Structure 1
Amino acid sequence: MSEMGREDLLAVVRTVWEERDPVPPGLVERAQAAAALAATDAATDASDAALDLDGELVALMELVERSEELVGARGSATYTLRFVHGETDLLVRIAVDDGRSRIDGWVVPPEPMTVRAGGHEATVTDTGRFELDDLPLGMLRLDLEPHDAHRAPFATPAFEI
């Protein structure tokens, strides 16, 4: 057996990797959409900060948990995301069925606030619950604005429905 050169060995590894672990369909497009949304959000946040007298940027929540479950045989899917920002915990359940989506959310501890996403708006109830129906499929970010003027608004990182 002859000894392989570095380039030949890398070519074999590349071939095996491409055959055994190909890039998932749509991954490049989803990554580009996420990057575009993040760039848009950053530009929007920067322009909002310029208009804000305090110059305070919207803080992003941190995704701390994600779980998925298959529901039914018609292409329905449900998954749960949990975000944390300071003392605020946000749990969202996203359900997608036949191209329609719904978010059920819970803010802990409950506090009056407005949640906006994809041109939709909801008010958090006194139990911390909110819901958003008929959201567009694709990349989405939840913007949360506490009604307490002393609390700064915050948002989730972009996620895909």
Structure 2
Amino acid sequence: MELLLRSATLEDFDAVNAIIREGQEEHAEALPDRFTRLDHVVAMGWYRSFSAKTDKEIIVAVLDSEVIGVAMLEMKQSPNYDALVPRQYAYVNELAVASTHQRQGVGKKLYEAATQWARAREAASLELNVWEFNERAMQFYASVGMQTLNRTLTSNLKD
């Protein structure tokens, strides 16, 4: 069957959470001082905030009636500092594919849909954060043409 990309519904909530939880588990394993293990990573209130708004969207990838991937997007404004050029950009809160369907082009299709969504809203760019340990994600984003813009550095102050 063909992969279908569509806007998420409330009925997709549990499937979306299951996919995002897989990534959360990877993050909790790699950085237990930063990430915790949760049954529901996405709160229902936050999920609902994406419905019926033109500046937010959840796109799901569906194969054989099963949600196998998700992209959560929202439009943002640059901070209001004199030193920064005012701009609108699209932010990817989540882009995840079920482990059983990774490396099959689903992530690329979701990324392309996210790009189209952002362009339709005249975003200056599409941005996201990725953690340094997540080499697979960094390789994926590089493969679709994303580039590192900045880095967050840290010093651990507790032994």
Q: TM-score, normalised by structure 1?
A: 0.29
Highest CA radius of gyration, 1 or 2?
1
Higher relative contact order (CA 8 A, sep 6+): 2
Whose helix fraction is larger, Structure 1's or Structure 2's?
2
Whose strand fraction is larger, Structure 1's or Structure 2's?
1
Q: TM-score, normalised by structure 2?
A: 0.30
